Amino acid sequence: MSETIPAPDGATRLFLILGDPIAQVKAPGGISRAFAARGVHAMMLPLHIAAADLRACVAGLSRARNLDGLVVTVPHKIAMAGHCATLSPRARLLGSVNLLRRNPDGSWHGDMSDGEGMLAAIRAAGGSPRGQRALLVGAGGAGSAIGLALVDAGLAALAIHDAETARRDRLVALLGGRGAAVGAGGPDPRGYDLVINATPAGMRPGDPLPIAAEGLAPGTFVADVITMPEETPLLAVARARGCPTATGVDMFKAQQALIADFLLGA
Amino acid sequence: MSETIPAPDGATRLFLILGDPIAQVKAPGGISRAFAARGVHAMMLPLHIAAADLRACVAGLSRARNLDGLVVTVPHKIAMAGHCATLSPRARLLGSVNLLRRNPDGSWHGDMSDGEGMLAAIRAAGGSPRGQRALLVGAGGAGSAIGLALVDAGLAALAIHDAETARRDRLVALLGGRGAAVGAGGPDPRGYDLVINATPAGMRPGDPLPIAAEGLAPGTFVADVITMPEETPLLAVARARGCPTATGVDMFKAQQALIADFLLGA
């Protein structure tokens, strides 16, 4: 992250990433460098804002005339959907946003690109969800977005595993009727072409594996949303068994171009 | 302004300069580079905000936990004094601020460094106001701050020239009783050691000179607040006559270190 970029000046267009905590986010460096590489005179900076302060902060910030876009991370993705005058179809369906840009009247248009980011990471690693059977572990914000993107990319079947059965069942219902066979699943990865962890399991030393990894076959593609550590225990087991993998960092990198495209209205 | 700086990351502390218009300001590059040179993990970005939106914008922005300071430019210097819980003595006297940093409780502490910037530029060019006789042209925000700084630096006498006689007289009254002989002056520079233009005259081609420049003696120090053009017609005449000079860009550069010091609580 020591790469340099041109210093800002008075004409720099401003983009902010909102979150709490904020120090761990990678968008300021990644997106600022992406802007510079595209010759766009803009920069992405972090804004540390607590949930209780979000509404007033966004109301005030939105009045700035050189603030062209926002990236949203935990815990603001659902609340920020309420600050959008318009939403992409997927953001409306999921009820959450991670990206906002201005409409011509200055109001905010929101989108949710987390699923698309995972899809791009899987494809970049040679995977393809079309016609495949996938096991998704975790039906929270990230899992919901990933499940939607995979189903809409032509998955044959999606099994969702989550210890919170109520939100698992809500996501099963939400993703049904879109072309894939969607149902509740368990921790056993046998019989799936694609296994995705969208839970925090693997962030802390000693976390249990999110699936029963001894069932992983060498051809199964294994992906994880966790960025730190980059190689989670799940991915280490998968790689040892010869599985192709995509990491949370791969997902972030794949998403960077999508984020820059959206924020710049491309 | 093509010099590069390290890209921001999630832990970057944020500083903003508020103004309308904003594209001309030099603080984003200058202060961001000053932070980088000092090893401070922070960046200064422009925020374009109209006067009508200032109150709500600052109220919202102030809730951000990594926003550590603000620089204020036209037209917000007086209004922003009202957002400060505490003011430096000179900011309180002048009723305006160009710099804000956080108090320990998160509220804002304001200062006005424009006069100190001009003083530093004059000194860097070999001038010294102590015991001298100065002619100040322009009794607006910048002129008031410069007049105060010069008087407090030990000037013997200050003459103030402004076509708006009411604000000239207010500034004469404000700066009286601080050790220098302060009174109303005219456009004739004869008899002064130091002549300072703090009006916009010289920004546009064809502007009249702010003083009767044919009266400039070779030893008179001539300073100008205008940054664009850097060599104003007044400074061109002064240099042709052999006068030592300080430009608006010199003033900005001299002020950069003062601004960084203040914002970082040094």
HEC assignment per residue over B109-156:
EEECCHHHHHHHHHHHCCCCCCCCEEEEECCCHHHHHHHHHHHHCCCC
Answer yes or no: is pLDDT of A1 > 50. Answer: no
Across the interface, which of A10, A43, A59 has its CB nearest the CB of B56?
A: A59
Q: CA B193, CA B134: separation in Å to the nearest integer?
A: 6
| Chain A residues whose C-beta sits inside 8 Å of any chain B C-beta | 1-12, 14, 17, 20, 22-29, 32-33, 43-50, 53, 56-61, 63-67
Cis before A46? omega within 30: no
Q: CA B202, CA B234: separation in Å to the nearest integer?
A: 7
Question: Under CATH, domain B13-112 is a member of which superfamily?
Answer: Leucine Dehydrogenase, chain A, domain 1 (3.40.50.10860)
- Quick one: pLDDT at residue A257? 87
A175 — pLDDT class (breaks 50, 70, 90): very high
> Using a CB-CB distance cutoff of 8 angstroms, which residues of chain A are in contact with residue B25?
9-10
Looking at the domain that runs over A115-251, which CATH code has it been given? 3.40.50.720
Q: CA B115, CA B94: separation in Å to the nearest integer?
A: 11
**What mean pLDDT comes out for the span A157-174?**
97
What is the average pLDDT value for chain A, to the nearest integer?
95
Digit-coded pLDDT (tens) for B186-214: 999 999 999 999 998 998 899 999 999 99
Answer yes or no: is pLDDT of A2 > 60. Answer: no
- What sign does the CA torsion over A66, A46, A232, A208 have? negative
Q: Which of B77, B109, B133, B161 is catalytic?
A: B77
Strand duo B245-246 + B221-224: pairing:
parallel
B37 — pLDDT class (breaks 50, 70, 90): very high
Q: What ipTM score was computed for the predicted complex, to two decimals?
A: 0.86
* Nearest Cα residue to B234 out of B252, B207, B257: B207
Question: Helix (H, G, I), strand (E, B), or coil: what is residue B192?
Answer: coil
From A62's Cα to the closest Cα of chain B, the distance in A is 8
B151 — pLDDT class (breaks 50, 70, 90): very high
Per DSSP, what are the bridge partners of residue A87? A110
Per DSSP, what are the bridge partners of residue B47? B18
Do A61 and B57 make contact, defined as CB atoms within 8 angstroms?
A: yes
- Quick one: pLDDT at residue B227? 84
> Using a CB-CB distance cutoff of 8 angstroms, which residues of chain A are in contact with residue B1?
6-7, 9
> Using a CB-CB distance cutoff of 8 angstroms, which residues of chain B are in contact with residue A49?
63-65
From B63's Cα to the closest Cα of chain A, the distance in A is 6
Can you say how many angstroms the Cα of residue A223 is from the centroid of all Cα atoms in its chain?
Answer: 13
Q: Does the active-site annotation cover B253?
A: no
> Using a CB-CB distance cutoff of 8 angstroms, which residues of chain A are in contact with residue B22?
10-11, 66
Whole-model pTM: value is: 0.88
**What mean pLDDT comes out for the span A191-214?**
94
**Residue A122 zone, left/alpha/beta (φ > 0; ψ -120 to 50; rest):** alpha
DSSP one-letter string for A104-130: TTS-EEEE--HHHHHHHHHHHTT---T
Helix (H) or strand (E) holding A159: strand A157-161
Q: Residue A240, exposed/middle/buried by CB under 10 A (0-12, 13-18, 19+)?
A: exposed
B141 — pLDDT class (breaks 50, 70, 90): confident
Distances from the Cα of A214 to the Cα of A207, A211, A238, A239, B157, angstroms = 16, 9, 9, 12, 88
Do A50 and B63 make contact, defined as CB atoms within 8 angstroms?
A: yes
Question: Helix (H, G, I), strand (E, B), or coil: what is residue B101?
Answer: strand
Q: Using CA coordinates, name the residue in chain A closest to B56.
A: A60
Question: Helix (H, G, I), strand (E, B), or coil: what is residue B181?
Answer: strand
Across the interface, which of B7, B27, B57 has its CB nearest the CB of A32?
A: B7
**What mean pLDDT comes out for the span B105-125?**
95
From B96's Cα to the closest Cα of chain A, the distance in A is 22
Digit-coded pLDDT (tens) for B85-105: 999 999 999 999 999 999 999
> Using a CB-CB distance cutoff of 8 angstroms, which residues of chain A are in contact with residue B57?
60-61, 63-64
> Using a CB-CB distance cutoff of 8 angstroms, which residues of chain A are in contact with residue B106?
none
Q: CA B104, CA B82: separation in Å to the nearest integer?
A: 18
Do B14 and A46 make contact, defined as CB atoms within 8 angstroms?
A: yes
Q: Using CA coordinates, name the residue in chain B closest to A46.
A: B10
Residue identified by tokens 């103004």 is B19
A13-19, strands of its sheet edge to edge: A42-48, A13-19, A67-72, A99-102, A108-111, A86-87
Same topology, domains B13-112 and B115-251? Answer is yes
Do B47 and A5 make contact, defined as CB atoms within 8 angstroms?
A: no
Across the interface, which of B24, B33, B45 has its CB nearest the CB of A12?
A: B45
B1 — pLDDT class (breaks 50, 70, 90): very low
Query: How do the domains of chain A map onto residue ranges?
Result: 13-112, 115-251
Digit-coded pLDDT (tens) for A44-78: 999 999 999 999 999 999 999 999 999 999 889 99
DSSP secondary structure letter of residue A94: H
**What mean pLDDT comes out for the span B134-158?**
96
